């Protein structure tokens, strides 16, 4: 099962993007998870989309979630319409900007990991690397990889858990650093179950199309 991968914003270290998605693919392969990220190129959003969000540390620029979700969905639809495209119904975007919202009641700037949303049967996910920034590149990569696995887990129906697991939401960044780069046994079983069910559903749809 293929998942599109893209990024939004200015990444000074573009290799970081490829490396973190490669690490995710390696984790899938080592654990028999039939998922693979496929890089689809950069997703462009114009500067006109940027908004200012007031925080205790002053104004912070960011792309509103609404704009990112809309852009990811449009990119996913375009990919599905390609005759030579892969059967992708999920798209994951990394962004350098913090996740913010036009909604004045949205106050999750400091702790918000990411978001996933389903639109017409397709799912888009976005994760900001802003909360995970570190001068230690290896540490930062682990933080972002955990975030990717967390949001991807949600897209397959996994909920938050209290085990040593990427689905256990952190209280702070130190708590996040203590999490393993892995799903716990319980979440792994649920993920495999969800994947099996989804693959069977796809096969059934393909059989009906062939009739």
Per-residue pLDDT of the chain (211 residues; tens, 9 = 90+): 899 999 987 777 889 999 999 999 999 999 999 999 999 988 887 666 667 766 666 776 776 777 788 888 888 888 888 777 678 889 999 988 777 665 544 444 444 567 778 888 889 999 988 888 899 999 999 999 999 999 999 999 999 999 999 999 888 889 999 999 999 999 999 999 999 998 888 777 777 766 5
When divided into structural domains, the chain yields a total of 1
Kindly report, residue by residue over 116-171, the tens digit of the pLDDT. Answer: 788 888 899 999 888 888 999 999 999 999 999 999 999 999 999 999 999 998 88
Which token pair is 92?
A: 């994951």
| Alpha helix positions (H), the chain | 14-30, 65-80, 137-155, 173-178, 185-210
Burial of 40 (0-12, 13-18, 19+ CB in 10 A): buried
State the residue range of the domain holding 123.
Answer: 2-210
Q: Quick check: 65 and 100 in contact, CB under 8 A?
A: yes
pLDDT of res. 105: 40
Q: CATH number of the domain that 144 lies in? A: 3.40.390.10
């Amino acid at each position: 099962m293929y998942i599109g991968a893209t990024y939004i914003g200015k990444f000074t270290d573009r290799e970081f993007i490829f490396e973190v998605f490669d690490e995710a693919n390696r984790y899938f392969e080592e654990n028999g998870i039939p998922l693979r990220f496929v890089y689809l190129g950069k997703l462009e959003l114009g500067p006109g989309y940027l908004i200012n969000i007031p925080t205790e540390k002053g104004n912070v620029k960011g792309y509103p979630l609404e704009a990112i979700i809309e852009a990811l969905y449009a990119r996913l639809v375009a990919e599905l319409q390609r005759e030579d495209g892969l059967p992708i119904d999920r798209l994951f975007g990394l962004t350098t900007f913090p996740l913010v919202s036009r909604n004045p009641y949205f106050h999750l700037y400091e702790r918000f990991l990411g978001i996933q949303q389903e639109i017409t049967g397709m799912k888009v996910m976005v994760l900001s690397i802003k909360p995970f920034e570190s001068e230690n590149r290896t540490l930062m990569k682990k933080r972002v990889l955990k975030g990717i696995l967390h949001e991807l887990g949600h897209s397959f129906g996994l909920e938050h858990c209290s085990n040593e697991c990427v689905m256990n939401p952190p209280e702070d960044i130190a708590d996040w650093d203590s999490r393993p780069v892995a799903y716990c046994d319980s979440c792994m079983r649920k993920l495999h179950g969800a994947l099996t069910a989804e693959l069977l559903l796809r096969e059934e749809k393909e059989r009906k199309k062939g009739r």
